[in-house]
């Protein structure tokens, strides 16, 4: 017997096909034998030979084809009439914003009215209008481009494959779901995870939603290439108050007729929407919670609601003491999106669940991610990074990370306050981490370049013959910059620059004036990973804005202000308007900038810096010399500092990486390098340590000749063209196949980092958790929280592989990195500062162009949006800024 619809009628399409499952989603054609998925509506398109969604039936009689076309066209016209009538009915309602209206309804609830109830309910997030017409864009389109108007063919942005079948099939391609389409192997890991989660919701979302809304979601939440069958949009009405009474629609009289079925009459099966409506009304769900005869529709201003939601979020931050820069976390937005999709009624996880069950789940996910990274250890090896730093309580902490070309993950954090000056205990600590990772995988262990760490590293090399101890290159350059400040005119520039910024940033009226009228909202301060690099970055920013600062201190508003009458204000004005100060700044900038560029390259992580570190520093050293025209009086002090630290960069790994880097080795001037013997000696030591088999050591040494002479695969046209274009480790992987023993060593050397500086200290939650919950949280739970925190950060950073254009600084980070540039040793008292601000504000009221300032108690300086260290080219409006001869006295 053909299946009945909820109204008791039989769809004419069932005369020509047979259902293949209980849900009637698959229908077998009586003429061609094809099984059509998508229900009776899609099957009628098959018979009517309507293009776009299903293949034709060429065997169906012509009269059947015409009849199905007529039925489908009738359905479309009825649907349009319904939409018009619904619009007319809604247009008659006196809608006003920010008011509640009660619309009287009978106990009989239609599907049309149920849609209105669902549309007004925030918890179900259901709308009568399709998502695409509301401006919704499927997330899959961010990663592909439609190749035709119908959007049935999508080209992948990562592998360039053209996937047929629409956006749903394309997302299966990105999510690597087997069965229907080839997976994309080039898509980033985060894209793969996002698409996998999206497809998981699409396939199983109806089961995962709440019981009272899951079936409603299946009717309204459709992706781009889905549709709602016409049969599920009928206006049939059912009285759910009495299970034995049916309400039907008499199309001849246009009236609703209530009847009671006879005892032997089978009651028609409720449609899917009828069942959902019955559950919602009988279970008193929070979707609308109407009274017996009333459905309440709440209308409000979206702007007001948005402010209320934002206010609630901010109050949570304030109450819990969460740093405001936590709002920039990518997981914050994901959390809000998930809550919004779930709707009302979400049960908040308890603190015990967050700290136990879900924490364990997150640890399991991170360990899966780390397993993927460890899979590359066989080819490239890995680096153990021991990043030592001090927290706000003066404790010395060591964060251990493991890095390889595939990514980086956090291992543990250790309080080493009691052993930081004990080489024996430091050695045991480092040796334990090596044992945990596996000695056969470790190429080097990077630590600080202190005497204690040097001794501990030597002990480690004596025990572990197959690895190196390496000083942190970023830390060595940082020490070099510290010594630059001891040069007379460099220190003078630092001190005078700090006086200028301290004076401006501790007087909000002046800061407000500068940003609004002279620097166009830009800051004078710039952040970096350490205090000294932040200092040189600030010198660059001051030089960039020197003309803006000079104009401000020459403006009428400054001259007439009370600040200009202060002794400190006069001193700062003299500094800013003194041409010699800016000439010294320009001289220092040109002298130090080549070294800062090397440090910046270490921080970007665009490429692993091991292959180019020695070459970059060597070039920077000689660039400083050429900038000053080979005048030893000018470049000599800088060279002296560089030479004092140059021994740290004569490490065997740096020397071997320089030799094996094809972009360096095949340069014509390579054989004339003055440190050629050091380079060869470093390469030989690396071959000895990194290759345990004696026979392979000999083989690798012999293969050096083929590499230097560019024989075999090394001399192929493709290999030659990619010497400077391709990452050196990847170049060896692709073109070193004729020298496998040397290739293995080269990949393990060139695939390493040379700095532990990527472990940003202000990421750590160690201090906050330890100080607040030391007596409440077990030590294991503390370590688990830190483990998850760091690894989520590292995973997000590796996935994006980009450098942020700005860094939002909270108060704690300002004090750590920019304290020398913002904190005055002797601040004016609160009352004195307030009186000055009030006086300046009153004066501004008499001038229509005066800067407006809201004076708050305490005159707290707001968080700054500052730029990272970048190469700055200042506009030169003064005379040529060459160094004066008296600077070399």
Instruction: Provide the CATH number for the domain around residue 464.
Output: 3.30.420
Higher pLDDT, 569 or 822: 569
Query: 63 and 84: one domain?
Result: yes
- The answer to whether residues 431 and 469 touch, using CB atoms and an 8 Å cutoff, is no
Res 756 pLDDT > 60: yes
Please give the pLDDT value at position 800: 62
The pair phi, psi for residue 528, each rounded to 5°, is -145, -170
Return the sign of the alpha-carbon dihedral for residues 649, 655, 657, 659: positive
Q: Tell whether 613 is covered by a domain.
A: no
The pair phi, psi for residue 444, each rounded to 5°, is -155, 160
Other CB atoms within 10 Å distance of the CB of residue 784:
18
Q: What is the pLDDT of residues 223-281, one digit of tens each?
A: 333 333 333 333 333 333 343 344 444 444 444 444 444 444 444 444 444 444 444 44
Percent of the chain with pLDDT over 70: 66
Residue 49 region by backbone torsions, left for phi larger than 0, else alpha for psi between -120 and 50, else beta: left
Query: 739 and 656: one domain?
Result: yes
From 89, 110, 132, give the residue that closes a domain. 89
Instruction: Name the band, by pLDDT with cuts 50, 70 and 90, for residue 191.
Output: confident
How does DSSP assign 378-404, residue by residue?
HHH-EEEEEEEEE-TTS-EEEEEEEEE
Is residue 256 classed as helix, strand or coil in its secondary structure?
strand
Please give the pLDDT value at position 588: 93
Query: 368 and 437: one domain?
Result: yes
Q: Which of 144-153, 234-243, 777-786 has the lowest mean pLDDT?
A: 234-243
- In angstroms, the CA 185 to CA 191 distance is 11
Q: What is the mean pLDDT of residues 783-806?
A: 71
Higher pLDDT, 806 or 321: 321
Q: Tell whether 616 is covered by a domain.
A: no
Tell me whether residue 283 is exposed, middle or buried, using C-beta atoms within 10 angstroms of its C-beta: 0 to 12, 13 to 18, 19 or more: exposed
The pair phi, psi for residue 164, each rounded to 5°, is -95, 145
pTM (whole model) above 0.85 = no
Which token pair is 142?
């961010």
Instruction: Name the band, by pLDDT with cuts 50, 70 and 90, for residue 140.
Output: confident
Higher pLDDT, 790 or 241: 790
Ranked by mean pLDDT, which of 45-49, 654-658, 761-765 comes out on top? 654-658
Q: Tell whether 862 is covered by a domain.
A: yes
Q: Tell whether 612 is covered by a domain.
A: no
Q: Which domain holds residue 331?
A: 302-348
Please give the pLDDT value at position 82: 61
222-226 contacts: CB < 8 A, separation 24 or more?
222/130, 222/131, 223/138, 223/167, 223/168, 224/132, 224/138, 224/151, 224/166, 224/167, 224/168, 225/151, 225/166, 225/167, 225/168, 226/168
Query: 722 and 860: one domain?
Result: no
Res 455 pLDDT > 90: yes
Query: 449 and 569: one domain?
Result: no
Query: 735 and 774: one domain?
Result: no
Q: What is the mean pLDDT of residues 298-315?
A: 70
Q: What string of H, E and C letters represents the secondary structure of 611-665? A: HCHHHHHHHHHHHHHHHCCCCHHHHHHHHHHHHHHHHHHCCHHHHHHHHHCHHHH
Query: 241 and 213: one domain?
Result: yes
Q: What string of H, E and C letters represents the secondary structure of 51-78? A: CCCCCCCCCCCHHHHHHHHHHHHHHHHH
Q: Which residues contact residue 87 at a Cβ distance below 8 angstroms, ignoring those fewer than 6 apart?
A: none
Give whole-number Cα distances, 660 to 191, 466, 652, 695, in Å.
34, 19, 12, 21
CA 628 from centre of chain: 42
Query: 573 and 498: one domain?
Result: yes
Query: 789 and 680: one domain?
Result: no
Q: What is the mean pLDDT of residues 582-597?
A: 93
Q: What is the mean pLDDT of residues 368-397?
A: 87
Q: Which of 132-136, 317-321, 652-656, 721-725 has the lowest mean pLDDT?
A: 132-136
Query: 744 and 828: one domain?
Result: no
Q: Tell whether 617 is covered by a domain.
A: no
Q: Which of 256-265, 539-548, 588-597, 659-668 has the lowest mean pLDDT?
A: 256-265
Higher pLDDT, 822 or 478: 478
- In angstroms, the CA 788 to CA 410 distance is 9
Q: What is the mean pLDDT of residues 678-685?
A: 94
Range list of H helices, 709-829: 717-721, 728-735, 740-750, 766-773, 779-800, 811-822
- In angstroms, the CA 308 to CA 807 distance is 28
Q: Tell whether 71 is covered by a domain.
A: yes
Please give the pLDDT value at position 839: 45
Instruction: Name the band, by pLDDT with cuts 50, 70 and 90, for residue 389.
Output: confident
Which token pair is 630?
């080979």
Q: Tell whether 189 is covered by a domain.
A: yes
Q: What is the pLDDT of residues 628-666, one digit of tens each?
A: 988 999 999 999 999 999 989 999 999 999 999 999 999
Q: What is the mean pLDDT of residues 598-626?
A: 84
Please give the pLDDT value at position 651: 94
Query: 819 and 793: one domain?
Result: no
Other CB atoms within 10 Å distance of the CB of residue 210:
17
- In angstroms, the CA 55 to CA 58 distance is 9
Q: Tell whether 642 is covered by a domain.
A: no
Give whole-number Cα distances, 324 to 316, 317, 809, 867, in Å.
11, 7, 9, 18
Q: Which of 63, 27, 32 is nearest to 48 (CA)?
A: 63
Q: What is the mean pLDDT of residues 588-605?
A: 86
DSSP 755: -
Instruction: Name the band, by pLDDT with cuts 50, 70 and 90, for residue 323.
Output: confident
Query: 771 and 889: one domain?
Result: no
Going by DSSP bridges, is the β-strand pair 396-404/407-415 parallel, antiparallel, or unpaired? antiparallel
From 89, 114, 139, give the residue that closes a domain. 89
Q: Which residues contact residue 373 at a Cβ distance below 8 angstroms, ignoring those fewer than 6 apart?
A: 402, 404, 406, 407, 408, 409
Ranked by mean pLDDT, which of 703-707, 757-761, 845-849 comes out on top? 703-707
- In angstroms, the CA 419 to CA 400 distance is 16
How many independent structural domains does the chain possess?
6
From 737, 768, 800, give the residue that closes a domain. 800
Res 606 pLDDT > 60: no
Q: What is the pLDDT of residues 84-113, one digit of tens each?
A: 555 554 444 443 333 333 333 333 444 444
């Amino acid at each position: 017997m053909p299946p009945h619809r909820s109204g008791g009628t039989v769809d004419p399409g069932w005369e020509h096909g047979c259902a293949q499952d209980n849900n009637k989603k698959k229908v077998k054609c009586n003429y061609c034998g094809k099984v059509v998925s998508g229900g009776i509506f899609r099957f009628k398109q098959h018979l009517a030979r309507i293009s776009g969604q299903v293949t034709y039936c060429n065997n169906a009689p012509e009269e059947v084809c015409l009849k199905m076309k007529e039925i489908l066209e009738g359905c479309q016209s009825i649907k349009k009439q319904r939409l018009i009538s619904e619009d007319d009915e809604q247009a008659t309602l006196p809608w006003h914003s920010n008011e509640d209206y009660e619309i009287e309804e009978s106990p009989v609830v239609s599907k049309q009215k149920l849609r209105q109830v669902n549309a007004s309910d925030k918890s179900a997030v259901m709308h009568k209008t399709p998502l695409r017409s509301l401006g919704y864009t499927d997330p899959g389109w961010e990663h592909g481009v439609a190749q035709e108007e119908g959007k049935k063919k999508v080209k992948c942005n990562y592998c360039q494959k053209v996937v047929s079948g629409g956006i749903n099939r394309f997302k299966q391609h990105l999510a690597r779901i087997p069965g229907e389409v080839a997976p994309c192997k080039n898509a980033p890991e985060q894209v793969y995870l996002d698409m996998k989660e999206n497809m998981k919701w699409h396939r199983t979302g109806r089961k995962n939603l709440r019981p009272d809304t899951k079936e409603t979601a299946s009717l309204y939440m459709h992706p781009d290439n889905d549709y709602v069958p016409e049969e599920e949009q009928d206006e049939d009405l059912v009285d759910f108050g009495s299970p034995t009474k049916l309400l039907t629609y008499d199309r001849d009289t246009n009236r609703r007729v209530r009847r009671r079925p006879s005892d032997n009459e089978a009651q028609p099966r409720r449609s899917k929407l009828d069942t959902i409506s019955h559950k919602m009304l009988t279970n008193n769900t929070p979707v609308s919670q109407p009274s017996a005869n009333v459905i309440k529709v709440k209308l409000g201003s979206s702007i007001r609601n948005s402010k209320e939601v934002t206010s609630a979020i901010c109050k949570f931050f304030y109450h819990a003491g969460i740093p405001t820069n936590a709002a920039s976390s990518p997981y914050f937005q994901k959390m809000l999106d998930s809550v919004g999709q779930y709707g009302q009624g979400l049960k908040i996880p308890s603190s015990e669940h967050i700290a136990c069950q879900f924490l364990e789940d997150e640890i399991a996910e991170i360990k899966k991610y780390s397993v993927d990274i460890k899979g590359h250890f066989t080819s490239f090896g890995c680096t153990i990074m021991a990043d030592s730093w001090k927290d706000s309580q003066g404790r010395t902490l060591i964060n251990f990370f493991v890095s390889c070309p595939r990514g980086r993950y956090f291992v543990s954090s250790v309080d080493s306050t009691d052993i930081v000056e004990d080489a024996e205990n430091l050695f045991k600590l480092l040796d334990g981490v090596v044992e945990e990772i596996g000695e056969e995988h470790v190429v080097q262990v990077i630590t600080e370049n202190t005497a204690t760490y040097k001794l501990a590293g030597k002990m480690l090399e004596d025990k572990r013959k197959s690895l190196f101890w390496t000083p942190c290159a970023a830390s060595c350059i940082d020490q070099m910059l510290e010594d630059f400040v001891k040069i007379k005119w460099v220190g003078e520039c630092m001190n005078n620059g700090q006086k200028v910024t301290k004076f401006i940033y501790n007087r909000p009226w002046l800061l407000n004036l500068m940003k609004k009228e002279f620097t166009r909202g830009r800051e004078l301060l710039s952040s970096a990973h350490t205090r000294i690099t932040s200092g040189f970055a600030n010198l660059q920013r001051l030089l960039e804005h020197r003309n803006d600062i000079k104009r401000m201190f020459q403006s009428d508003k400054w001259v007439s202000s009370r600040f200009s009458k202060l002794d400190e204000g006069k001193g700062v004005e003299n500094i800013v308007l003194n041409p010699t100060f800016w000439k010294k700044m320009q001289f220092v900038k040109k002298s130090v900038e080549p070294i800062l560029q090397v440090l910046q390259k270490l921080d970007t992580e665009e490429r692993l810096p091991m292959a180019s570190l020695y070459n970059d520093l060597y070039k920077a050293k000689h660039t400083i010399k050429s900038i000053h025209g080979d005048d030893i009086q000018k470049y000599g002090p800088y060279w002296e500092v560089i030479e004092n630290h140059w021994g740290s960069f004569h490490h065997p790994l740096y020397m071997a990486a320089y030799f094996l880097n094809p972009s360096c080795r095949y340069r014509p001037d390579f054989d004339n390098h003055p440190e050629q013997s050091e380079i060869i000696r470093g390469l030989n030591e690396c071959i000895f340590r990194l290759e345990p088999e004696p026979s392979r050591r000999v083989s690798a040494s012999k293969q050096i000749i083929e590499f230097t002479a560019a024989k075999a695969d090394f001399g192929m046209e493709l290999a030659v063209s990619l010497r400077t274009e391709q990452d050196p480790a990847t170049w060896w992987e692709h073109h070193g196949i004729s020298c496998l023993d040397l290739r293995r060593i080269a990949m393990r050397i060139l695939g390493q980092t040379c700095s532990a500086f990527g472990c940003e200290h202000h990421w750590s939650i160690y201090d906050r958790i330890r100080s607040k919950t030391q007596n409440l949280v077990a030590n294991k739970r503390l370590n688990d929280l830190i483990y998850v925190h760091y690894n989520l950060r590292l995973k997000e950073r590796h996935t994006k592989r980009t450098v942020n254009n700005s860094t939002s600084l909270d108060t704690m980070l300002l004090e750590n990195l920019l304290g020398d540039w913002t904190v005055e040793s002797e601040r004016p008292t609160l009352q004195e500062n307030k009186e000055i601000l009030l006086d300046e504000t009153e004066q501004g009221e008499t001038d229509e162009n005066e800067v407006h300032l809201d004076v708050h108690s305490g005159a707290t300086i707001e968080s700054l949006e500052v730029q990272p260290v970048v190469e700055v080219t200042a506009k030169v409006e003064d005379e040529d800024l060459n160094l004066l001869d008296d600077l070399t006295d």
